[in-house]
Structure 1
């Protein structure tokens, strides 16, 4: 083992990999961040695959996220094959599967977490600047070929959009795997309704590895050292060194500068990228991945969409192979046919967790038949025909709501793309929350659900809107994607009818003949009514279909304001409907 002048930095060879532990990376304000670098044990120059985030570079995937690891390797044995798996970390690449292929893997603990001191302020502009400096450091190291790629899931994808907007010179390519991009719409407030996820995630996954936990934190199974730094601070000192993220979110209920500072600026994202989305990621990530492909300024961008859990396909041979082909081309300059790769790779969903891959060239798909399905209270029908007469129906504003269904389909129907709904409603109070679920039922009347990103019983699609946030931004709204301003409250006049445009996140399902399509409007989160698997019962983020993305905060949804009744209007000039992206039969996956 080679010691360096720095008291913590050391270098050694393990498993035929040169590992530099706790490499210091100085920031422009004097804070020194720490990284682990895994690279070939020779004098070659290699491209870097970098991640920067708060989950502690020394924290073992298998120990810290045991249920996810066990399910992933049980479902996908190829994940664990060919590696000792001892260097596996949550949501970043496995060095044992990348270093032998000629890459240097760089894991940076973000400011205030793991082995990096400082103040934690997740996704803030300071973090983006830190990331920029880390990229530039890696691009100029003696072992580097000058090209830096970014790769990782979730947090490690979200901040890729941020740092790409700063355009660091050595940043060459990115793989953003399931990464949100609009902090307000994707992460903290769905349709203006507070999501409880971040308030729970932050203490559960970030605070537990804050720098300064020292001897109180988990130990690295490789080095035996604390994963949260070499010093141990008091609880008061730790609290002073971090933002209260959950409280900050509540202090910013509208889409203000705080949210904008933590969101992508698509006009500045020009780096070549592969954006990988999950059909079942409703409530956090997929919206950002689709928006990236549709809106980013880069002229070299690809979209891939898959199913299964949030973590699985990043590590499978399928996902890793896709990432490597992309990076081999952009970071190594290999002529491997990537430039002929279809710009859109869809794993088209069928009932029974079956996926069929199909190549496309754009998103939304060319030739989409944007088809209006009208809600008809008479018989709770969903039909392409406008109801013959005007009518209305009332439901409990915090209750189970209403479900409208098509008759059994007479032919297979594919729905792939974003969805919108136009609803005409009145409320008995000054506000109302709309929870919209797109659902499919088989001939036995069993609901079709999928293993989603963070819940084993995820429905086809979800959308949300707070009625007082109904104002649209006409410059950013599209026919298939309404864009709400979320910059002011416009309370309802009880009893008055209002027109609402609800954004429903993109989805994909091939609905067989004999199945029914349903739209459910509720006053609370969707709930799956079937039996739960053992994984669903044990996984701390699972619920009954929406995972941790719940909307029950009493401060955000006081009963006196959001209780009462909602009346839905249908037919005539108030023909409430959803617009589904129906794909022509000749485009269907087999």
Structure 2
């Protein structure tokens, strides 16, 4: 293939972004697949993400074989050597202020999104371009797709956002109104500032040149002034204000074909956004995939690449390959020992039976429909292990696939409280079944809510998916009981005979032995004075607290 390195692309303000362009050697006009992000177009997957590379190549050894050994493989973007031979041009661009592209680095910003628009138009008007541009990539590269597609670039023809948020506030910044501190705080130095343009201390090396991927070094004071203080921005914008709105696209404006891919094991970031994106996008030709595994293996393994190509062959090359007639939903149903693929035409699944399990504070049980026990309450320390409610052992295999909602009657000894809701699967011996997630082991599902953010949007809420406005703060009166609707992110799980579901309620993050990535541990956001009190859950006929689950009939 033809490899053009550090191609300069002029932006509206005169600044030039740098791109790598990979295209077929045979002259002609080809559809373009473009990726635009902050991780470095010249940073090899193997060098920047060695542990993940070893996992991936262990699963797919052919990725690291041959003369090139995946020479051009980059984190979370398509491999040119597996796309260009099939008649595609691949364009990878360093976002403004990252890698070889100068400028002010402001991740997810409207400026960056407008750059993306112009890059699509540039790619769609080259002499080697068919005029059709598609977008493909994971996480950051998926988030940018949702953002720019809503601007309707004329040459954009299709998108494949793979595991990436579409609602900046609810999926990236603040889960249930609680600041998502752990991942963004670690992500910025590890993946963003390390690749900032002009970073003379970056250890990242371009394997083609042996030089830093960040270009000529800048003076430290200039470097510090060339990047947004993203964590301060997240702290400062506590509500879903215009700063967040500028980073959350109007999905109804997206009209191009969409293949949205979500990960059941990405409850903190790589799940809700793809489902909501699929549901709310204005496109008439859209598909949703819900898979398992780490978020990079699902993107690179041959079966998934094949599906990506079939989608783009249809909508970038106009090949009548039958993709139009595929079922709208393709999803993996998780079992304790693996997963089974199924298909459906709508979401939630049309056969769903919404089933309530009532919390019983006396017996710490989750009672199936037909009884909610006597009025009772249970109290736990907000910074302790919380309290757990168990279903009876299932007599036969039961499947739950879809959104989950939790209604609580709760009170706090302080003027606010954070609810961390965790749904777990326990085997007959009481041992938990853990599932492989995008980055770590995960339980069945998680949900979050800050009680002072309890206000619902009546137009966008449903019984199975509460939607909070996050537009105002309503403090609590200590020891007064409040009704709280907690959105628990969607799930899919089969509970075999003898297994139980457990609902744990806590006042802090649920973690396994290894610290999780999506933590909410900022002392600036969660002072002990406010969030270190005692929480009481009230249950019974007068104060019903219940879990609403999506039962799928056998």
**TM-score between the two structures when normalised by the length of structure 2:** 0.98
- Give how far 1:450 is off: 0.9
Contact 1:78 1:317 in 2 (8 A): no
Q: Which runs of 5+ in 1 are unaligned?
A: 1-16, 533-542, 586-590
Contact 1:113 1:228 in 2 (8 A): yes
Contact 2:47 2:204 in 1 (8 A): no
| Counterpart residue number, 1:483 | 467
- String of CA shifts for 1:351-389, please: whole Å, max 9, x gaps: 12x111111111111020110011112221111133231
| Counterpart residue number, 1:271 | 256
Pair 1:399 & 2:384 matched: yes
Alignment of 1:200-215 (within 5 A): 200-214=186-200
Paired residue for 1:180, among 165, 173, 182?
Answer: 165
- Between stretches 385-394 and 40-49, larger displacement belongs to 385-394
- Write out the 4+ residue segments of structure 1 that deviate beyond 3 Å after TM superposition: 76-83, 214-217
| Counterpart residue number, 1:555 | 524
| Counterpart residue number, 1:218 | 204
Alignment of 1:248-259 (within 5 A): 248-259=233-244
Aligned residues: 551
| Counterpart residue number, 2:343 | 359
Pair 1:106 & 2:106 matched: no
Counterpart Cα distance in 2 of 1:445 and 1:318 = 36
DSSP 3-state at the match of 2:519: coil
- Give how far 1:199 is off: 2.2
Paired residue for 1:496, among 455, 476, 480?
Answer: 480
Counterpart Cα distance in 2 of 1:389 and 1:217 = 62
Counterpart Cα distance in 2 of 1:519 and 1:576 = 12
Pair 1:458 & 2:449 matched: no
| Counterpart residue number, 1:579 | 548
Paired residue for 1:473, among 431, 439, 457?
Answer: 457
Contact 2:314 2:320 in 1 (8 A): yes
Shift in CA distance, 464/215, structure 1 to aligned 2, threshold 3 Å: closer
- String of CA shifts for 1:14-63, please: whole Å, max 9, x gaps: xxx10010111100011100100011112111111100000010001001
Shift in CA distance, 143/443, structure 1 to aligned 2, threshold 3 Å: same
- String of CA shifts for 1:135-167, please: whole Å, max 9, x gaps: 000001111111100000000000101110110
- Between stretches 319-328 and 262-271, larger displacement belongs to 262-271
- String of CA shifts for 1:84-126, please: whole Å, max 9, x gaps: 2111100000111001111111001100001111001111111
- String of CA shifts for 1:555-574, please: whole Å, max 9, x gaps: 11111111121110001121
- Give how far 1:318 is off: 1.4
| Counterpart residue number, 1:432 | 417
Counterpart Cα distance in 2 of 1:397 and 1:215 = 42
Counterpart Cα distance in 1 of 2:335 and 2:201 = 49
DSSP 3-state at the match of 2:315: helix
| Counterpart residue number, 1:305 | 290
Counterpart Cα distance in 2 of 1:50 and 1:522 = 43
Counterpart Cα distance in 2 of 1:81 and 1:373 = 52
Pair 1:445 & 2:414 matched: no
Shift in CA distance, 278/79, structure 1 to aligned 2, threshold 3 Å: farther
- Give how far 1:217 is off: 4.4
Counterpart Cα distance in 2 of 1:104 and 1:439 = 45
| Counterpart residue number, 1:523 | 507
CA-atom RMSD in angstroms: 1.2
Counterpart Cα distance in 2 of 1:153 and 1:527 = 25
Counterpart Cα distance in 1 of 2:546 and 2:468 = 18
| Counterpart residue number, 1:152 | 137
Contact 2:143 2:165 in 1 (8 A): yes
- Give how far 1:76 is off: 3.4
Counterpart Cα distance in 2 of 1:409 and 1:371 = 14
Pair 1:58 & 2:42 matched: yes
Contact 1:217 1:228 in 2 (8 A): no
Pair 1:227 & 2:196 matched: no
- Give how far 1:198 is off: 1.2
Counterpart Cα distance in 1 of 2:240 and 2:393 = 42
- Give how far 1:444 is off: 1.8
| Counterpart residue number, 2:147 | 162
Contact 1:382 1:405 in 2 (8 A): yes
- Give how far 1:70 is off: 0.4
Pair 1:390 & 2:375 matched: yes
- String of CA shifts for 1:243-276, please: whole Å, max 9, x gaps: 0101111010111001111112112111111000
- Give how far 1:218 is off: 2.1
Counterpart Cα distance in 2 of 1:205 and 1:388 = 51
DSSP 3-state at the match of 1:573: coil
Paired residue for 2:538, among 561, 564, 569?
Answer: 569
Counterpart Cα distance in 2 of 1:213 and 1:389 = 63
| Counterpart residue number, 2:279 | 294
DSSP 3-state at the match of 2:473: coil
**TM-score between the two structures when normalised by the length of structure 1:** 0.92
Contact 1:470 1:500 in 2 (8 A): yes
- Give how far 1:78 is off: 4.9
Counterpart Cα distance in 2 of 1:77 and 1:348 = 27
Counterpart Cα distance in 2 of 1:50 and 1:216 = 25
Counterpart Cα distance in 2 of 1:48 and 1:478 = 40
Counterpart Cα distance in 2 of 1:90 and 1:579 = 38
Alignment of 1:534-545 (within 5 A): 543-544=514-515
Counterpart Cα distance in 2 of 1:264 and 1:522 = 32
| Counterpart residue number, 1:76 | 60
Contact 1:413 1:582 in 2 (8 A): yes
